[in-house]
Amino acid sequence: MKKIIILTPLIILFIISAFLIIYLLSDKNPNQPPSALLNKDVPNFESKSLYDENKIIKIENIKNKKILINFFASWCAPCKIEHPLLFEIKERYPDLYILGFNHKDKASDGINYLKKDGDPYNFVGVDSDGLIALEFGVFGLPETFLINENGKIIYKILGPITKDILKNEIEPLL
Amino acid sequence: MLFCLISKSYANENIDERVKKLTLELRCMTCQNQSIYDSDAEFSNNIKKIIRDKFEKGENETDIKKFLVQRYGEYILFRPLINYNNSFLWVFPFILLVFGLFFIVIKSRKNKA
C-alpha cells in the first residue's frame, strides 16, 4: 500500500506527460510546418505586373476583398499540377481576387508559361528577387494564402492545391 | 591602404563567424533535420545571404532571429524561445528532476530503514 502511495506521483506525472506528448504531436505534419502568419495581417507589398511594368499592385488596392495569393514559377513542377484547379476556383468564385506572384523566374519564362497553360490570375506580380515571398515566409513552391476581407491571412497551403484540399479546406472558407 | 585591407578582411571573417554561429541554430525548412549552415538548399542559401546582409547593416543576432521568427515561425529555431508559451517545455525537465530526486530520497530512506 505504502509503495503505491510513493509511486502515485510518478504515475500521475507519466500520465500527464503521455497526454501532453499526444496533444503536442496531434495534427502535426512535418511537411506542413505551422505558418507564423496565420490569423495575422497580410504583409505589405508592392509589385509590378509581369506583363506591364507600368502597372503596379499594392495591398491597399485590393483591400476589403477575399484574396487568394499564389506563389508560382515556370520552373516549378508541382505548380503545373495545381494550375488547372486555379481555373476551377476562378470559375466557381468569380468574386475572389486571385493574385499570382511569379517567384524567382525570368519574366519571359513566366509569360510563356501562362500563355501555354493559361492565366487564371486577376493580376500577376513579379517577385524576381524573392523579397515578397520572404515577407510571406514562403520557403517552397507553390504556396497559397487565403486572405479575408479584413486583410487577415486565414489559410495557407504549402505545396500544390489538390481537389481534396480545395473541397475540404479552401471552399469552406470562401 | 594595407591597414584598410587587413581590417576589412578581419570584419569579413568576423561576419562569417557570426553567420555560421547563427545559421547553426536555425532549421532548414526544406530539409530533414538539417541546420541552415549545413544545408545547400536554395532556401538555406537565401537565408544565409539575408543574415549576412543584415549583419553587414549592423543588425544584431536577436533582431535577425525576431525577423525570421515573424515570417517562418518558431519552427525555424532549433532551440525554442524562452517565453510564456514555451514555459512548460522549459520547466518540465526540472519538474521531472524534482520528482526523480524525491523518489530517490524516499527509496534510499526506505533501504536504510
Can you give the pLDDT at residue B14? Answer: 87
Q: According to the model, what pLDDT value does residue A17 have? A: 75
**Domain boundaries of chain A, sorted by first residue:** 36-173
What's the pLDDT at B30?
A: 86
Note the CATH number of domain A36-173. Answer: 3.40.30.10
For A21, which residue in chain B has the nearest alpha carbon? B89
Pairwise pLDDT comparison (A153 vs B113), residue with the higher score = A153
Compute the 3-state secondary structure of chain A and give helix, strand, coil in percent, each to the nearest 5. Answer: 40, 20, 35
Asked whether residue B1 carries a pLDDT value surpassing 70, the answer given is: no
- Which residues in chain A are closer than 8 Å to B69, comparing Cβ atoms? 36
> How high is the pLDDT of residue A108?
96
Contact A86, A70 (CB under 8 A): yes
Q: Is the pTM of this model over 0.80?
A: no
First to last CA, chain B: 80
Cell of B18: 557570426
Chain B nearest-CA distance from A139, in A, is: 6
Mean pLDDT taken over chain B: 85
Identify the H or E element spanning A153: strand A153-158
Nearest CA in chain A to B73: A36
The CATH fold assigned to B2-81 is Helicase, Ruva Protein; domain 3 (1.10.8)
What average pLDDT does this structure show over B10-37?
Answer: 89
**Residue-by-residue pLDDT tens, chain A, 174 positions:** 666 766 776 777 778 778 777 766 665 665 666 678 899 999 999 999 999 999 999 988 888 899 999 999 999 999 999 999 999 999 999 999 999 999 999 999 999 999 999 999 999 999 999 999 999 999 889 999 999 999 999 999 999 999 999 999 999 998
What integer pLDDT is reported at residue B57 of this predicted model?
A: 93
pLDDT score at A11? 78
ipTM over 0.85: no
Q: Which of A89-98, B28-37, B89-98 has the lowest mean pLDDT?
A: B89-98
Domain boundaries, chain B: 2-81, 84-113
| Residues in chain A within 8 Å Cβ distance of B75 | 33-34, 36
CA gap A22, B3 in Å, rounded: 60
Per-residue pLDDT tens for B39-87? 999 899 999 999 999 999 999 999 999 999 999 998 899 988 777 777 7
Which chain A residue lies closest to B101 (C-alpha atoms)?
A10
The one-letter code for the residue type at B39 is S
∠A88-A53-A61 over CA atoms, to 5°?
60
Per-residue pLDDT at B2 exceeds 60: no
